[in-house]
Amino acid sequence: MKSEISLPTWITLSRLLGVPFILYFLTLGDPSSRVWACVIFLLCGMTDWLDGYLARKLNQVTDLGKVLDPLVDKFLVFAPLLVLIEQGQIPAWGVFIILTRELTIAGWRVNQTTVIGANIWGKAKTVVQIAAIALLILQLPYAVVAFWISVLLTVISGLIYLLP
């Protein structure tokens, strides 16, 4: 019997290990700690691309990977967003829109007969969310604009999943 725990799946799971470090450095508050939080966040974000690439290249796409990858992405995205709300950088209602979309699509996926991977809109949403969060962590100009663009893409990608 073939194991579902492939190299890409291990990479997906390893992304979770970065989340506590991102939160630790982000909550310290000093500029150098925020840089560390951003570096770790971006490295974790790159593993999202890497695990998908390896799964396709090594022909190791699994149903487990299709389920775990978006779940781990949610931890990676929501953990720093919650801290950024607490720090007053973004409004909670913007994050609520993202959370609503993610829970809605997760529920929709559960009711599908086959596991469906992310489409191009879902992938674009993830890339823009990662970029926006990195900019917010570093407190760079236009970071809030990038956040609102990510919220808009989140809504659009959710509607594309749900509308026929």
pLDDT in tens, 16-50: 999 999 999 999 989 999 999 999 999 999 998 89
pLDDT in tens, 119-143: 788 889 989 999 999 999 999 999 9
User: Predicted confidence band at 163 (pLDDT cuts at 50, 70, 90)?
Assistant: confident
* Packed helices 31-57 and 63-86: angle between N→C axes, nearest 10 degrees: 170
Please give the pLDDT value at position 116: 64
pLDDT in tens, 76-109: 999 999 999 999 999 999 999 999 998 888 777 6
The pTM assigned to this predicted structure is 0.87
Q: 7-162 — its CATH code?
A: 1.20.120.1760
Q: Where are the domains of the chain?
A: 7-162
